[in-house]
């Protein structure tokens, strides 16, 4: 029992003190959550509700992930909190958006402007779309054209997801380089300070 309590305490300290550890943990949790949501997601296939319904999947979990990250890191209204908000706390929210955009069906649902029923596309990868029903208001547009438009929306969504992923990767590289340079400068300053103290002691003695 004591070892379990010690392990939980250590895990809590790692999550609170290390933004990298907490972001990695959140990343795995969000990946599992997205897979569960994907199984249950059903687009209304109604132009009046598609955008609002899909936006809830983008916004609500992202805000929750951002808030939970602030709570885990013990954010307070001070300078450190401002740095946390600008750097590590927003990463889980962006990761969630990346997962949804890479999936494609949420963005495609939001941009679908015809009525239909949400079905799986045959003769293709497991992809869902709003198959038009009779009286969808687009007599001049065939179902094949709408399917092509839906697939284009999937591709556009994945392009957005890839762009966000590149943005995160570039940001992480810049952050790591900056931190390493800062540590090197701090070590150099410490070395100069120690040498100065030694010379002062030598002169005094």
Q: What are the DSSP E strand ranges found in 4-151?
A: 116-120, 128-132
pLDDT per residue as tens digits for the range 150-183? 999 999 999 999 999 998 888 778 877 887 787 7
Contacts of 70 (CB under 8 A, 6+ apart): 81, 84, 85, 89
Contacts of 3 (CB under 8 A, 6+ apart): none
Which of the four pLDDT bands, split at 50, 70 and 90, describes residue 126?
low
C-alpha to C-alpha distance for 141 and 137, rounded to whole angstroms: 9
| Average predicted confidence (pLDDT) for the chain | 76
pLDDT per residue as tens digits for the range 81-115? 555 455 677 888 888 999 999 999 999 999 998 98
Which of the four pLDDT bands, split at 50, 70 and 90, describes residue 27?
confident
pLDDT of residue 4: 57
């Amino acid at each position: 029992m004591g070892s379990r309590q010690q392990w939980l305490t250590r895990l809590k300290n790692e999550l609170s003190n290390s933004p990298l550890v907490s972001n990695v943990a959140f990343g795995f949790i969000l990946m599992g959550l997205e897979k569960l949501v994907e199984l249950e997601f059903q687009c209304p296939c109604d132009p009046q509700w598609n955008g609002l319904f899909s936006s809830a999947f983008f916004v609500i979990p992202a805000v929750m992930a951002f808030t939970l990250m602030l709570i885990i890191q013990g954010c307070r209204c001070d300078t450190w909190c401002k740095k946390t908000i600008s750097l590590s706390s927003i990463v889980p929210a962006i990761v969630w958006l990346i997962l949804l955009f890479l999936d494609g069906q949420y963005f495609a649902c939001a941009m679908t402007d015809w009525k239909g029923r949400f079905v799986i596309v045959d003769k293709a990868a497991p992809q869902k779309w709003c198959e038009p029903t009779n009286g969808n208001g687009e007599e001049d547009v065939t179902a094949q054209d709408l399917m092509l438009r839906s697939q284009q929306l999937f591709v556009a969504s994945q392009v957005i997801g890839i762009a966000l992923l590149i943005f995160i990767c570039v940001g992480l590289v810049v952050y790591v380089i900056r931190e390493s340079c800062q540590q090197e400068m701090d070590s150099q300053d410490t070395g100069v300070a120690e040498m100065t103290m030694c010379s002062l002691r030598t002169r005094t003695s």
